[in-house]
Amino acid sequence: MVYLICGSPCSGKSTYIKEHIRRGDLICDVDLIYGAISGQDSHDAEMYTHEIACKLDSDLKDMIRDRVGGWKDAYVVSLANTTEKLCKAKERIKADEVIFIDTPYDVCMERSKERPPYFAWLIQEWFETKDLTYGRK
């Protein structure tokens, strides 16, 4: 199965995955890729390294879409906040299921205090432009 895990920054997408992943599963999360290639905190990306992480993320999504490798389930993280973006993200990887992490704004903002300051801006932007009528779980 391929799961598309959607929600705002600091909504709990990574926590959801940690609670459900099993040995043999795959995670596609640009933050984790950044952390792996930089050796830095996965939420504090430098632009030059983040660009590389985004390319690797895209390549991994292609492999998931094409079901390359012997993994069991794949969890793909997305910040899609509109129905159109969500549908595109789902089709991009041929996701079997969409899991929407519907965490309230104030909870996300509180969690963002443990991350670099720009996360508060990302959360605010995500909620201000949110237009979802699909994929809620």
Per-residue pLDDT at 50: 77
CATH number at residue 7: 3.40.50.300
The answer to whether position 58 is within a domain reads yes
Whether residue 1 is predicted with pLDDT greater than 50 in this model: the reply is yes
Whether residue 117 is predicted with pLDDT greater than 90 in this model: the reply is no
The answer to whether position 95 is within a domain reads yes
The answer to whether position 133 is within a domain reads no
The answer to whether position 54 is within a domain reads yes
The answer to whether position 136 is within a domain reads no
The answer to whether position 14 is within a domain reads yes
The answer to whether position 116 is within a domain reads yes
Element (H, E) at 58: helix 47-65
The answer to whether position 137 is within a domain reads no
Per-residue pLDDT at 66: 98
Side chain identity, residue 21: I
Give the chain's domain count. 1
Mean pLDDT of 90-104: 97
pTM over 0.95: no
Question: Residues 80-90: pLDDT tens digits?
Answer: 999 999 999 99
Say if CB 5 and CB 16 are below 8 A apart. Answer: yes
Range of the domain at 27: 2-128
Question: Residues 29-77: pLDDT tens digits?
Answer: 998 998 888 877 666 656 667 788 889 999 999 999 999 999 999 999 9
